[in-house]
Amino acid sequence: MLTPIDIARKAKEMQEDDVVRHIFTYLEGRYINEWRNASPGDLQKREAAYAAIRSLEDIKVKLGSLANAPKVEAHNNRNAARR
Protein backbone atom coordinates (compact mmCIF):
# COMPACT_ATOMS: atom_id res chain seq x y z
CA MET A 1 0.00 0.00 0.00
CA LEU A 2 1.27 3.45 -0.88
CA THR A 3 1.97 5.92 1.88
CA PRO A 4 1.00 9.59 1.50
CA ILE A 5 4.68 10.36 0.85
CA ASP A 6 4.80 7.71 -1.91
CA ILE A 7 1.64 9.12 -3.48
CA ALA A 8 3.04 12.66 -3.34
CA ARG A 9 6.30 11.57 -4.94
CA LYS A 10 4.55 9.68 -7.73
CA ALA A 11 2.14 12.55 -8.37
CA LYS A 12 5.09 14.96 -8.62
CA GLU A 13 6.85 12.58 -11.01
CA MET A 14 3.73 12.47 -13.18
CA GLN A 15 3.51 16.27 -13.23
CA GLU A 16 7.11 16.49 -14.40
CA ASP A 17 7.04 13.54 -16.81
CA ASP A 18 7.48 14.66 -20.43
CA VAL A 19 5.19 11.93 -21.78
CA VAL A 20 2.39 12.83 -19.38
CA ARG A 21 2.82 16.52 -20.24
CA HIS A 22 2.70 15.64 -23.94
CA ILE A 23 -0.52 13.68 -23.43
CA PHE A 24 -2.17 16.56 -21.56
CA THR A 25 -1.07 19.08 -24.19
CA TYR A 26 -2.25 16.88 -27.04
CA LEU A 27 -5.64 16.16 -25.48
CA GLU A 28 -6.23 19.75 -24.47
CA GLY A 29 -5.46 20.90 -28.02
CA ARG A 30 -7.71 18.25 -29.48
CA TYR A 31 -10.63 19.17 -27.23
CA ILE A 32 -10.17 22.89 -27.88
CA ASN A 33 -10.19 22.24 -31.62
CA GLU A 34 -13.33 20.12 -31.28
CA TRP A 35 -14.97 22.93 -29.35
CA ARG A 36 -13.87 25.62 -31.82
CA ASN A 37 -14.87 23.60 -34.88
CA ALA A 38 -18.30 22.62 -33.60
CA SER A 39 -21.09 24.55 -35.17
CA PRO A 40 -22.80 27.04 -32.84
CA GLY A 41 -25.95 24.94 -32.95
CA ASP A 42 -24.20 21.69 -32.01
CA LEU A 43 -24.54 22.17 -28.27
CA GLN A 44 -23.94 18.52 -27.47
CA LYS A 45 -20.56 18.48 -29.21
CA ARG A 46 -19.53 21.81 -27.70
CA GLU A 47 -20.59 20.74 -24.20
CA ALA A 48 -18.75 17.41 -24.54
CA ALA A 49 -15.54 19.16 -25.59
CA TYR A 50 -15.84 21.66 -22.74
CA ALA A 51 -16.46 18.85 -20.25
CA ALA A 52 -13.38 17.03 -21.53
CA ILE A 53 -11.24 20.16 -21.09
CA ARG A 54 -12.56 20.60 -17.54
CA SER A 55 -11.84 16.94 -16.79
CA LEU A 56 -8.22 17.38 -17.84
CA GLU A 57 -7.98 20.40 -15.54
CA ASP A 58 -9.49 18.36 -12.70
CA ILE A 59 -6.79 15.72 -13.18
CA LYS A 60 -4.04 18.36 -13.18
CA VAL A 61 -5.45 19.95 -10.02
CA LYS A 62 -5.72 16.57 -8.27
CA LEU A 63 -2.12 15.70 -9.19
CA GLY A 64 -1.01 19.03 -7.74
CA SER A 65 -3.04 18.44 -4.61
CA LEU A 66 -1.58 14.97 -4.13
CA ALA A 67 1.96 16.20 -4.82
CA ASN A 68 1.64 18.98 -2.23
CA ALA A 69 -0.39 17.14 0.41
CA PRO A 70 2.57 16.32 2.71
CA LYS A 71 3.75 19.96 2.61
CA VAL A 72 0.26 21.22 3.38
CA GLU A 73 -0.13 18.75 6.23
CA ALA A 74 3.26 19.72 7.70
CA HIS A 75 2.32 23.40 7.46
CA ASN A 76 -1.03 22.75 9.14
CA ASN A 77 0.65 20.73 11.88
CA ARG A 78 3.12 23.55 12.55
CA ASN A 79 0.26 26.03 12.83
CA ALA A 80 -1.70 23.72 15.11
CA ALA A 81 1.35 23.26 17.36
CA ARG A 82 1.68 27.03 17.77
CA ARG A 83 -1.81 27.36 19.21
Each domain of the chain, given as residue ranges in start order, spans 14-82
pLDDT at 74 over 90: no
pLDDT at 83 over 90: no
Is the dihedral angle over the CA atoms 15, 19, 21, 23 positive or is it negative? negative
What is the tens place of the pLDDT at every residue in 11-70? 999 999 999 999 999 999 999 999 999 998 999 999 999 999 999 999 999 999 999 998
Helix axes 18-37, 43-82, angle to 10 degrees: 140
